[in-house]
Amino acid sequence: MPDKSTTSEAPIPKLKDANTAAADTNAAPAPSGPARKIYTILKYGDPILEKPSNAVSKFDAELAELAEDMFATMYAAQGIGLAAPQIGKSIRLTVVDVTGGKNPEAKIVLVNPEIIAFEGEKREEEGCLSIPGFRGYVVRPQFVTIRAQDGKGESFEIRGEDLLARAFCHEIDHLNGILFLQHLSMLKRDMIRRKIKKLRKQGEW
């Protein structure tokens, strides 16, 4: 999701707010080493983007590395959220930072996330790193509560409001093979698809 300012059973966990979840290192610590890998973000039309992803069952250094590479890729694209399918990996992993990298404590890693509660509604303009250059108004819950695992496999719950709630919903949609286009009116959706088809014919997509 782009930054709008630019264009086995675990026990029931305690509820965290976004800041607490990040401060508690919900991502496994990123190993020190070479510069992070910047992935190519897949564009609309790639079949993996519309396919439900697989649950993560292995929590290791490789997963931690991937999460950090996803943050780096997201920041490079000026985004605030990125899901693994967007870089060609069909697993239920997403990263979110609504500060766009300005606050390291705002980094959130969600593994195998699910929405367990929501309330309210807000209609705001939304875009997607996999559909660059196109935006549309989408109705999302104003508040959502997510149950997920962190980079170490520990379960937790986190509540998001407004932009954070929107980012959570947008990224979890990606893990379910749903793009924000599917939330638009048929007229708006078809218009965007026609423009993308034209760009593809011109070799610009």
Residue 1 is predicted with a pLDDT of: 87
**Residue 50 burial (CB count, 10 A):** 16
Q: What is the mean pLDDT of each run of 10 residues along the chain (205 residues)?
A: 56 42 42 76 97 97 97 96 98 97 95 98 97 97 98 97 98 98 96 96 95
Tell which residue, 57, 66, 100, has the closest CA to residue 84.
Answer: 66
The residues, ordered by sequence, that sit 6+ positions from 133 with a Cβ below 8 Å of its Cβ are 7
Cα-to-chain-centroid distance, residue 180: 12
CA gap 131, 134 in Å, rounded: 6
Spatial distance between the Cα atoms of 128 and 151, rounded to a whole number of angstroms? 24
Q: Name the catalytic one among 105, 126, 161, 171.
A: 171
- CB-count burial class (<10 Å; 0-12, 13-18, 19+) for 8: exposed
CA–CA separation, 6 and 4 (whole Å): 5
Residue whose tokens read 């966990």: 13
**Which pLDDT score, from 0 to 100, does residue 28 have?**
40
Q: What is the pLDDT of residue 172?
A: 98
CA 126-127-130 angle, to 5 degrees, is 150
- List, in order of start, the domains of the chain with CATH numbers: 15-201 (3.90.45.10)
* 195 Cα distance to chain centroid: 25
pLDDT in the model for residue 15: 47
Q: 42 exposed, middle or buried (CB, 10 Å; 0-12, 13-18, 19+)?
A: middle
Half-sphere exposure at residue 83, Cβ-oriented, CA atoms within 13 angstroms:
33
To 10 degrees, the CA torsion angle through 5, 78, 134, 96? -90
What pLDDT is attached to residue 35? 86
Q: From CA 80, how far away is CA 98, in angstroms rounded?
A: 5
The question of whether 171 is a catalytic residue gets the answer yes
Residue 119 exposed, middle or buried by CB count within 10 Å (0-12, 13-18, 19+): exposed
